[in-house]
Structure 1
Amino acid sequence: MNTDRVTEHLKRLMEIQSVDPVCAYVYDLKGLREHARRLKDSLPAFCSLYYAVKANPDNRILEALSGIVDGFDTASEGEILKVHKLSALPVIFAAPAKKDRELAYLADGSLRFMNVESERDLYRLNRVGKEAGKALPVLIRINLQHNVSNSSHKMSGVPTQFGIEERKIPSILEKLSEFPYIELNGFHFHAMSNNLNAEEHLIFVKRCLEKSLEWKKTFSLDLGVVNIGGGIGVNYENPSESFDWTFFSEGLHQMQEEFEANQLELIMELGRYLTAQCGFYITEVIDLKQNYDEWFPLVRGGTHHLRLPAAWKMSHPFSVYPVTEWKEAPLPRPAVKGERITIAGELCTPNDLLVRKQYVDDLKVGDLVMFHLSGAYGWTISHHDFLSHPAPDFHYLD
């Protein structure tokens, strides 16, 4: 992602900023479209690229992606409605606890597929289909015995609230005739979050294909879809060492013959990997102090705007944008050079930490801190109302 566009915008932002300290999300929509187009163009013809809306449901981001991706993956009625206002692309719905009115969206044709997360889902959807007088298209979500060990969050091979465990799938498939208003189109295998190992992700795709073909043959199923979900990550600790997308896409191309021979579509639902790079959370340093030999820059903002570093107990990648003019002269301007710092926000809790003991060359009160990789799981997963601080500004570079 081109950070030059963001820094140029910061110069203009400092010129027009009011008396309040700078605090803003900046989204590089041009960079987002370029990134999404590169990913889309690198995929084989049998592969469809969906955007996982939960990563960032900002309207401008959805609009930017709607001309590139093949569809949207949603997890709530609110996300369904938001997508339908902005795009006519296909929508898939996945959630472990579905409300009746959410089931109705599958019956009225608003969705391409809905995930079946439990046997009860089958009974409920079959009832909805009977009332609508038609079979409803679904994907059964599988909790595979296999998991991707290097991912930060595992949703397969371990007990979770998601999907149906692999060993129970044969008994479910044997009972499909009891659900005449269910149309099984394939399987959904979303199994991890933030995996950085491209080779392991390819092994996972192959496992999903093998299981789908095994069940297709054993139970004479008319399947058309293998949905591997998302889970491809970004490296927050060392952004230069990212997921090897080229290796991954080349590996997918090598599977083309098998997917096409079985007339299967591979669906990928990328979220973080699509949008993280396009977002920057930018805050102004309001104070700088030392407690028991540890330096604490205090910024306008914090985890009520960007919760991810607190949720994952990590240091979010950042850079310093130095501000030459000291607007509070002749008051002294605290500064730190060549030290490790812990960046804290404005909340009255010791958990409001964005960076933990990271080295910085030079940082002064009044400088801006730019948190990179903030385009996914940033603003919308944060506890905005805690202490009732004002929201950040939002800027879009297009």
Structure 2
Amino acid sequence: MTDSVTQHVTSLGQDEFPAYVYDLGALAQHASSIRSALSGAPEIFYAAKANPDPAFLRTIAPYVDGFEVASGGELRHVLEAVPGSRIAFGGPGKTDAELLDALALRVERIHVESPHELRRLARLSQSEGGADVMLRVNLAGDRSGAALAMTGPFGMDPALIEECRPILAASPWLRLHGIHAHLASGLDAEAMLRQSEQILAWARPWLSSAGVESPEINLGGGMAVDYAHPDRLFDWQTYGEGIAKLARPGETLRIEPGRSMAVYAGWYVTDVLDVKRAHGEAFAVLRGGTMQIRTPVTKGHDHPFTLLPGASPEGPVVEDAPVTYVGQLCTPKDVFARHIPTDRIAVGDIVAFSMSGAYAWNISHYDFLMHPHPTFHYLPEE
């Protein structure tokens, strides 16, 4: 924890817990370092789904080339927060209303997920001046080591994507610019580069055969984030150097980082309501729960945290024991971290969960049991 985060956390009153504390200065510094490591190529489109908080979007905006959205709601939200942004609109199951929104709002690129979606877009866009599209391909290959393999409904395999050729030929108002391929998440720099080589090896000849000049190839996101070792960051320098070697003149490469850009700038902070033992195990019951930070349950991990001494009110204490940290929900699944060695924990202590800047509040089922929502705090850029 930086000094500024620690000072803010320890200044919070009990009525302000749970709280999300967002360090916008740290976010800007991290985004700037990514931009520098990539030296302007490839283009960076921040995946808004990771954290669409307007303050995050505005802080990140100077360091990225645009934003990737995956719904009509995200589209309008991002344009309201950062007007005039370049937008790539992806995701399966786009409705006609969403496609019409994308056309009306002049989305720069629509990532098409299927031949059926392409046919619908051709019909909807004919009277709207056409549409600028990229086709999402889903390639087979080794995804060992990936946290998520984007198979099934995402994009088209090489056989299905061939059905797009006659649709494009019959709809000249659809302007094909390139290929989008987000194949997996949770890869380190070397694995990401190997995956990028695979994508480029398939996309370049396919786009050439489709007559695309100045092709664009979106290599997706999925840069690894290690919750077990928060100090192990994705090696952006190695990745940037590798991508520079893969790039060719006359083409545009693009990536869509989300979690790896935003996760380190957020903290979910709460206090200890009770500590107790049950069947030989020690538990700390925290205000709030995983309905407000779904990440531990979603990832199935022990979420990293810092334990800070509180005001030491009268109450139970556990010392020199492994402690399981749980929330207020009426389910045994409401667990932040299990069996964590702990010197001392008492009622009133503060628990600050780091790496809460992405896929935390915005993916949570926060109205389950209707506990009060957390407060939100923004540490400004210095």
TM-score range, shorter chain: over 0.9
- Do 2:118 and 2:164's aligned partners in 1 also have CA atoms closer than 8 Å? no
Match of 1:136 in 2: 131
Q: 1:299 aligns with which of 286, 290, 294?
A: 286
For 1:368 and 1:111, how far apart are their aligned partners in 2?
Answer: 44
- Do 1:21 and 1:286's aligned partners in 2 also have CA atoms closer than 8 Å? no
Match of 1:218 in 2: 209
Match of 1:50 in 2: 45
For 1:229 and 1:147, how far apart are their aligned partners in 2?
Answer: 16
For 1:385 and 1:109, how far apart are their aligned partners in 2?
Answer: 32
Cα shift at 1:378: 0.4
Question: Are 1:104 and 2:100 an aligned pair?
Answer: yes
Question: Are 1:377 and 2:359 an aligned pair?
Answer: yes
- The letter for the 2-side match of 1:10 is V
Cα shift at 1:108: 2.3
- Do 1:230 and 1:268's aligned partners in 2 also have CA atoms closer than 8 Å? yes
Secondary structure of 2:300 counterpart = coil
Cα shift at 1:345: 0.2
- Do 1:147 and 1:154's aligned partners in 2 also have CA atoms closer than 8 Å? no
**Cα distance change, pair 102–175 in 1 and its aligned pair in 2 (3 A):** closer
Question: Are 1:4 and 2:3 an aligned pair?
Answer: yes
Secondary structure of 2:137 counterpart = strand
Match runs of 1:168-183 below 5 Å = 168-173=160-165, 175-183=167-175
Cα shift at 1:148: 2.9
Match of 1:199 in 2: 190
Structure 2 unpaired stretches of 5+:
none
Question: Are 1:277 and 2:264 an aligned pair?
Answer: yes
Secondary structure of 2:219 counterpart = strand
Secondary structure of 2:275 counterpart = strand
For 1:229 and 1:388, how far apart are their aligned partners in 2?
Answer: 36
Match of 1:251 in 2: 242
Match of 2:222 in 1: 231
Q: Which moved more, 1:163-172 or 1:49-58?
A: 163-172
Question: Are 1:314 and 2:305 an aligned pair?
Answer: no
For 1:200 and 1:173, how far apart are their aligned partners in 2?
Answer: 31
- Do 1:95 and 1:115's aligned partners in 2 also have CA atoms closer than 8 Å? yes
Normalised by the length of structure 1, the TM-score is 0.91
For 1:94 and 1:147, how far apart are their aligned partners in 2?
Answer: 24
Cα shift at 1:85: 1.3
Secondary structure of 1:41 counterpart = helix
Match of 1:346 in 2: 328
Q: 2:316 aligns with which of 325, 331, 334?
A: 334
Question: Are 1:30 and 2:38 an aligned pair?
Answer: no
**Cα distance change, pair 242–65 in 1 and its aligned pair in 2 (3 A):** closer
Question: Are 1:166 and 2:158 an aligned pair?
Answer: yes
Identity %: 36
For 1:342 and 1:175, how far apart are their aligned partners in 2?
Answer: 56
Cα shift at 1:171: 4.2
For 2:17 and 2:130, how far apart are their aligned partners in 1?
Answer: 54
- The letter for the 2-side match of 1:233 is A
Match of 2:120 in 1: 124
Cα shift at 1:213: 1.0
For 1:172 and 1:100, how far apart are their aligned partners in 2?
Answer: 18
RMSD after superposition: 1.6
Match of 1:149 in 2: 144
Q: Which moved more, 1:3-12 or 1:182-191?
A: 3-12
Secondary structure of 1:67 counterpart = helix
- Do 1:281 and 1:371's aligned partners in 2 also have CA atoms closer than 8 Å? yes
Task: Give a deviation string over 1:238-279, Cα, whole Å, max 9, x none.
Answer: 2233322222122122224xx22xx11111111100100000
For 2:53 and 2:8, how far apart are their aligned partners in 1?
Answer: 20
Secondary structure of 1:66 counterpart = helix
Q: 1:82 aligns with which of 77, 85, 105?
A: 77
For 1:125 and 1:175, how far apart are their aligned partners in 2?
Answer: 10
**Cα distance change, pair 279–171 in 1 and its aligned pair in 2 (3 A):** same
- The letter for the 2-side match of 1:376 is A
Cα shift at 1:131: 2.3
Structure 1 unpaired stretches of 5+:
none
Question: Are 1:184 and 2:176 an aligned pair?
Answer: yes
Task: Give a deviation string over 1:84-142, Cα, whole Å, max 9, x none.
Answer: 1122120111120111121113322430011110110111010012122x231011011
- Do 1:122 and 1:179's aligned partners in 2 also have CA atoms closer than 8 Å? no
**Cα distance change, pair 222–140 in 1 and its aligned pair in 2 (3 A):** same
- Do 2:119 and 2:167's aligned partners in 1 also have CA atoms closer than 8 Å? no
- The letter for the 1-side match of 2:168 is L
For 2:243 and 2:175, how far apart are their aligned partners in 1?
Answer: 27
For 1:21 and 1:31, how far apart are their aligned partners in 2?
Answer: 22
Match of 1:390 in 2: 372
For 2:302 and 2:5, how far apart are their aligned partners in 1?
Answer: 21
Secondary structure of 2:292 counterpart = coil
For 2:143 and 2:35, how far apart are their aligned partners in 1?
Answer: 24
Match of 1:364 in 2: 346
